[in-house]
Amino acid sequence: MSACVRIRHDHTAHSSPPSRASGIKRPHSPPPPRRGGRFRIAGADLSASITVFLIAVPMSLGLAVAMDAPLEAGLISAAVGGIVAGLLGGTPLQVSGPSAGLTVVTAELIQIYGWRTTCAITIGAGLLQILLGSLRAARGALAVSPAIVHGTLAGIGVAIALAQLHIVLGASPQSSAAANALALPEQLGRTSPAAPLIGALTISVLVVWPRLPGRIGRAVRRLPAALASVAIATAVAAVAAPGIARVDLPSWRSHALPELPQGPVLALATAVLTVLLVASLESLLAAVAVDKLTADRAGGRTADSSPPAPDAPAAPRVQRSDLDRELRGQGIANVLAGLLGGLPVSGGAVRSSANVRAGATGRAATVLHGVWVLLAAGLLVTALEWIPLAALAALVMVVGFQMVNYAHIRNVHKHREFLVYGATITGVVLFGVLEGVAIGIAVAVAVALHRLARTRITVTDQGGQHLVVVRGQLTFLAVPRLSRTLGQLPRGGDAVVELDGFFMDHAAYETIQDWSDAQTAQGGRVVFTGRSGGRIAEPASAAHSCCRPWTPWRNHHCHDRPDRPGQPADARRAAATRAAFAPDENPGADRGPADSAGAEADARAADATAGPTGRSDTPGDGAAVPRRTGAHRLASGLSSFQRNTAPLVRDELARLAREGQRPSQLFITCADSRLVTSMITASGPGDLFTVRNVGNLVPPPGSEAGDDSVGAAIEYAVDVLKVESITVCGHSGCGAMQALMGTRPDTPRTSLWRWLRHGLPSLERMTSRHHAWARISGRLPADEVEQLCLTNVVQQLDHLRAHESVARRLAEGALQLHGMYFHVGEAQAYLLAEGASAGSGVDEVFDRVGPCDPNHAHPYDITNLSDPTSLTALGDPGDHAAVSVPTGAAGPADPTGSGELERTSA
């Protein structure tokens, strides 16, 4: 596959790295420091810092209560995390402070070693963070399985929630999560109502506050929910429960500072490593999440995926995280927090996401939030001492529940790693953080080995030919069973070996290859296939081909590449990916693993030759490459077909020429050039008898003499070819529907107007009160154009039923009608519900076709839309006919110019 990639061997001055003195910045190097720059504070940063401050104060106090630490320690950590980590960290918008993930760990350390030794442990963990950041080990920390990381955080969240529930109930938590769970029934029996009611009020406000409706709700929601819940609970407690336990901030003069650690060296080292592991992972994961939130904001995407307003100002660009610098900054913050008698510090997802959503543009917001916390610790002591402990405990309990993220559970379940996730949670809750991580790693290794070793091999005798099906990965562990099974097959016999796995090591490959060579030498025939039935063997003609040459749209990218050196790398990579994973449209030809491997090599080579802007670094790439003319594109495409595709399909097409066409489906669709029927239906020659016209219209019979082309195609398909189904396919952004909606009484009587008159019944149907609106399952149509596109499909099915030949075959039960809608931008197909397609349903709903949805595998469709990789499941591919319907349109079908008018001929 290397023949398709241009490799530069000349080492010119252009390819050499720029010197530092040249002033040219390397693509991924950090920006040069600003000479004489100042610490700039934007208005957005000031407002964002206040928002984060209002969240951080109650959160810091609550976490200090949860850890049974001095309450002022939470404020110290919030101030140090904001100022120090904000100035020195590698993630400008990340807000650091007391860590929810370290709550259980720190509480256990305080209980075992006391507060002053815990501060010394925090200093040790910070020093190790500085060392790891200097060694550039931050990226390696993210190599831990996400199931283990999220399981650890979820287990910590469960432990936090159980502990804080006791404080909400007016008691003190036990020493472990298991003890807290066992003590709950007894605690419930002797609970006074004041603290639980204040806790329930806090939780209720936390849940309801972001959902307040109306204009008043939008104005009130500017106040953070955490501050609002604590403030309301404090006000209610001051009136209704004056004797409830409240925050007690001791004098700063009695604040305890660290001391030299006392205890077993091994136990202390384990404690330092535990704080290091949890604090680093939580900070790095939060940094990655902040990058994603920032990118979404810069791209105009919000939490509800709604597009930005047209006149909205562009979001500021923020530098991407430097994870090693972030780890060093967190380490310095932890060292300083430990020296000042504060809690361990890490990046917080709650505070950081609030900072991003509040519009922060740089470090100023993070640093200012720390300054406000520092001022509050000195000036607002009296106000803070009115806060009930039950309110803070309820706030932290909700944070603990939020750490058990349903999206993470669904994700690990989808990747079949829920066992690892569950084992990690159980280990953290029952035994501790470090023990839970070790259990998670052990289970992950065991699961990986089990999957690697679980290989099922079955043999079926199919009348003289044996089918050997191998399910799972082929490694040296499966070689004994594989060799024994293959050795039991008759020597010199025919066999088909179906390999359904993603990995084969060298030992398994040699075993299969030796057996295949022996069978072939003794007169047998061995064919290797994948799960979809396509053969695994590379044809000689494809050895030097960039793409598997079959589908024209993919060939277009292939033969365009040599003349377009400036094509972006992601476009070249997409073309290579399409080539690797596209369905095998020629089942009669051999296919080999080099097809996909070569495409991947193509993509890697495209990346290798791409510069930071996504363009090739070869000389001359900076100049714009003119677009090919139509004649040049046509000649190039024909040449590519004759060179790559014709040798593979010549025998199959010769058979079809002798036997004639036998399509089983008539496919009526629009002439829009973006609608490639063979691609979206995974069909080949002979599968579809295609009628394409402007707007996929079906004129009613006898409407006008000049519109008999569609009727003739329908009669020929139904009466002569005996098709078993007819599909009317509309699509998004249809220019014909847009033109139809813009029709006015003074519209010029052109050929296009005369043709589009057949769509007027669709427009009338959409505006009529006697018909239900067609709609898409799961969502409403995007606009009235999409609504008309859907309605038009339903209306044209009614026109189809008016044709005599169609009505007769429908009455005999020998024909089925289907409605289809294809969303071009989403590459998503939708099928009309069966009742509506048959004309008997009330609701006209188009259901989404999923990648593996058996409900949409219609028995009479030669194109199985639920499995686009299966081309031969419902019959031999053959005869692909297309009929061009002369609409007489003088202009293109798409007046917006979004696509080229595509015409085909029989």
Active site (catalytic) residues:
670, 672, 674, 731, 734
Query: Which residue is it, tokens 């029996």?
Result: 189
Q: What do you get for the CA distance between the two ends of the chain, in Å?
A: 36
Instruction: Determine contact, residues 737/695, Cβ cutoff 8 Å.
Output: yes
Q: What are phi and psi of 55, to 5 degrees?
A: -85, -40
Label the pairing between strands 725-731 and 816-823.
Answer: parallel
Contacts of 330 (CB under 8 A, 6+ apart): 85, 89, 96, 126, 129, 133, 279, 280, 283, 345, 346, 347
SS (H, E, C) 264-287: CHHHHHHHHHHHHHHHHHHHHHHH
The DSSP symbol for 318 reads -
Query: Which residue is it, tokens 């579809």?
Result: 688
CA 527 to chain CA mean position, Å: 37
Helical residues (DSSP H) of 664-749, grouped into ranges? 677-680, 708-715, 735-741
Query: Which residue is it, tokens 């003069």?
Result: 253
User: What number of other Cβ atoms are within 10 A of residue 779's Cβ?
Assistant: 8
* Dist CA 761 CA 799 (whole Å): 10
Amino acid, single-letter form, for residue 198: I
Contacts of 795 (CB under 8 A, 6+ apart): 759, 761, 762, 765
* Dist CA 388 CA 200 (whole Å): 13
Following DSSP, what letter does each residue of 760-811 receive, concatenated? HHHHHHHH-SSSPPPEETTB--SSHHHHHHHHHHHHHHHHHHTSHHHHHHHH
Of the candidates 734, 833, 729, the one whose C-alpha atom is nearest the C-alpha of residue 783 is 734
* Dist CA 776 CA 833 (whole Å): 10
The DSSP symbol for 430 reads H
Of the candidates 203, 249, 265, 256, the one whose C-alpha atom is nearest the C-alpha of residue 229 is 203
User: What number of other Cβ atoms are within 10 A of residue 829's Cβ?
Assistant: 22
CA 448 to chain CA mean position, Å: 24
Following DSSP, what letter does each residue of 608-667 receive, concatenated? HTB-TTSSB-STTTTSPPPPPPHHHHHHHHHHHIIIIIHHHHHHHHHHHHHH----SEEE
Residue 551, helix vs strand vs coil: coil
3-state helix, strand, coil in the chain (%, to 5): 55, 10, 40
Tokens representing residue 755 in the block: 């043709």
Gyration radius of the chain's alpha carbons = 34
Contacts of 86 (CB under 8 A, 6+ apart): 95, 96, 363, 366, 367, 369, 370
The DSSP symbol for 345 reads E
Instruction: Determine contact, residues 676/556, Cβ cutoff 8 Å.
Output: no
Number of C-alpha atoms within 13 angstroms, CB side, residue 779?
A: 6
Instruction: Determine contact, residues 819/727, Cβ cutoff 8 Å.
Output: yes
User: What number of other Cβ atoms are within 10 A of residue 854's Cβ?
Assistant: 9
Tokens representing residue 601 in the block: 């090599």
Tokens representing residue 733 in the block: 């952004």
* Dist CA 543 CA 523 (whole Å): 27
* Dist CA 399 CA 203 (whole Å): 11
